[in-house]
A = this chain, B = another copy of it.
């Protein structure tokens, strides 16, 4: 069996309370006994038992990780993965481990996130969401448990959120195209009912208006962020009697689908039509030609989320929602004059 605090205390000839105080840097301990006990702790590599400590303190140094929404947002998602990865690193450096809630049982109505957070005494939660969020997620945001949401508006007494400034994305793209003298631009957006994509849609429309560029209805289509929908939208655009000079898709997946359609039609990219995607997922670099895109700074998003959550947990700061600037990445599917 493992050593307990009592064993350490006995070895050092002090009380368990003293050992506890030393391990938690409480003070009120003489330097001499401190040294003595510390040596034993190091020699024996003693580590306090998590569950006992957690039971006594009601803290856990654990952060719950929730992939919410009914869509398949999990380990396979190229964008959220990178964000969570960066979050994991940052939060690890702060001394937390991550608890991954399996969302299997939840759909069978068995266990709510909030209950399980309390059950585990998690110190805080990171909530990653694709589309609509379930009731169970609201429940936890409204509780006292500190939460940070990524790509969803999470509001509550101890909650906040962070996302890319999606409204700026359209402007970045349109501005770049405008500077390169292209004015006829088509748009493939995401579902209107999703928060992120509706913000992107508006951003694009606004930017076009701001530069006084024409909004041709035949060139505006809405998909579902996945490849197939981009492919189908592009088909329709190409069937029209006039082609745009450039296409901007609100997700890289859709852009990749559009690219496929263009190739089937013998369209040369970027000579005949330029193409710009959004998100900067891995596959952008392997397409032919490599896809220009608007990059979301996933690393920064994750790290910021970590620090914000830590502040929330420590309770020493009032946290406001944060928006991170997107960045245009020009590869070969668009032209930089």
Q: Which residues of A pack against B, CB within 8 Å?
A: 2, 45, 47-52, 54-55, 60, 62, 65, 74-76, 78, 81-82, 84-85, 88-89, 91-107, 111, 115-116, 118-121, 256, 263, 282-283, 286-288
Are B106 and A102 in contact (CB-based, < 8 A)?
no
B85 touches A74 (CB 8 A): yes
- Besides A47-B116, A94-B106, 7 more A-B contacts (Cβ < 8 Å) are A50-B120, A92-B102, A96-B106, A97-B101, A97-B116, A282-B282, A286-B287
Within 8 Å by CB of A88, from B85, B93, B102, B121, lies B102
Contact: A282 with B78, CB < 8 Å?
Answer: yes
In this complex, what residue of B is CB-closest to A56?
B51
Known: A51-B60, A282-B283. A75 touches B75 (CB 8 A): yes
Docked pose: A84 CA to B76 CA in angstroms: 9
A51 in contact with B54 (CB, 8 Å): yes
Select A50's contact among B49, B74, B93, B121, beta carbons within 8 Å: B121
Could you pull out 15 A-B pairs where Cβ atoms are within 8 angstroms? Answer: A47-B111, A47-B116, A49-B55, A49-B121, A51-B60, A51-B120, A55-B55, A74-B88, A75-B82, A76-B85, A78-B282, A95-B106, A97-B100, A100-B100, A287-B288
Chain B residues within an 8 Å CB radius of A95: 105-107
Of A81, A89, A94, A286, chain B has the most CB atoms within 10 Å of the CB of: A286
Copies in the complex: 2
Tell me the minimal C-beta distance from A255 to chain B in angstroms: 10
Q: Complex Cα distance A74/B90, Å? A: 14
Most-contacted residue by chain B among A96, A115, A120 (CB, 10 A): A120
* Chain B residues whose CB sits within 8 angstroms of the CB of A75 once the complex forms: 75, 81-82, 84-85, 88
Give min CB distance, A23 to chain B, whole Å: 11
Check B99 against A103 for contact (C-beta < 8 Å). Answer: no
B92 x A47 contact (CB < 8 A): no
Name the residue on B nearest A92 (C-beta): B102
A50-B82 contact, Cβ under 8 Å, with A65-B100, A288-B263:
no
Q: Give Cα A65–Cα B90 distance, bound, in whole angstroms.
A: 18
Q: How close is A259's CB to chain B, nearest CB, in angstroms?
A: 8
| Contact call B119/A102, Cβ cutoff below 8 A | no
A270 CB to closest chain B CB, in angstroms? 15
Q: Which residues of the other chain, B, contact A102 by a CB distance below 8 angstroms?
A: 88-89, 91-93, 96-98
Q: What's the least CB distance linking A24 to chain B, in Å?
A: 13
Q: What is the minimal beta-carbon distance from A300 to any residue of chain B, in angstroms?
A: 15
